[in-house]
Chain A
Amino acid sequence: MRLSASKITKHFGHRKVVNSANLTINPGEVVVIFGPNGAGKTTFIKILATLLRPSSGQLQIEDIDAITDYATVRHQLGVIVHELMGYPVLTPYENLMFIGKMSGIENLDTRCKVLLDEVGLQRFIHEPLQIFSRGMTQRFMIARALLHNPSILLLDEPFSGLDAAAKQFVLKRIAQERENKKSILITTHNTELGYLVGTRFFFMINGVLEEIAQKDEISEEDLLQRYEEKIIDTA
Chain B
Amino acid sequence: MKALRQIATLIRKDLGLQFRSKETLALIFVFSILVVLIFAFAFGPNFPPEKSERAKLTASVLWAAFVFAGIITLNRSFVIERTHGAIHGIRLTGVDPSFVYISKVISNLIFLLLLEIVITPIALQFYNLFDEITVIILLKLLGILGIGTLGFCAVGVLLSAMSTSTSGGESLLSVILLPLVIPIIMGGTKCTVSILVTGGLENRFWLGLLIGSTLVFLASAYLLADAVIEE
Chain A residues within CB distance 8 Å of chain B? 49-51, 53, 70-72, 74-75, 77, 79, 81, 83-90, 98-99, 101-104, 144, 148
Contacts and interface: CB of A to CB of B under 8 A. Distances in A.
A81 B93 contact: no
B85 interface: yes
Interface of B: 2, 5-6, 9-10, 13, 16-17, 20-21, 80, 84-86, 88-96, 230-231
Given A53-B231, A74-B93, A75-B93, A87 B88 contact: no
A103 B94 contact: yes
A85 B85 contact: yes
B9 A98 contact: yes
Nearest to A88: B84
Contacts of B230: 53, 70
B89 A99 contact: yes
- The 5 A-B pairs with the shortest beta carbon distances in the complex, nearest first, are A83-B85, A85-B89, A102-B93, A84-B84, A74-B94
Contacts of A72: 94
20 contacts: A49-B92, A50-B92, A51-B88, A53-B231, A71-B95, A71-B96, A74-B91, A74-B92, A74-B93, A75-B93, A79-B88, A85-B84, A85-B89, A87-B86, A90-B16, A90-B20, A99-B89, A101-B5, A102-B93, A148-B93
A74 B88 CA distance: 11
In terms of DSSP, what is the predominant structure of the interface of chain B?
helix
Contacts, number: 70
A102 B2 CA distance: 9
A87 B95 CA distance: 18
Contacts of B91: 50-51, 74
B88 A81 contact: yes
B2 to A, nearest CB: 7
Contact of A89 (B6, B10, B17, B94): B17
A109 B151 CA distance: 38
A77 B89 CA distance: 11
Nearest to B23: A89
A84 B86 contact: yes
A83 B95 contact: no
B93 A90 contact: no
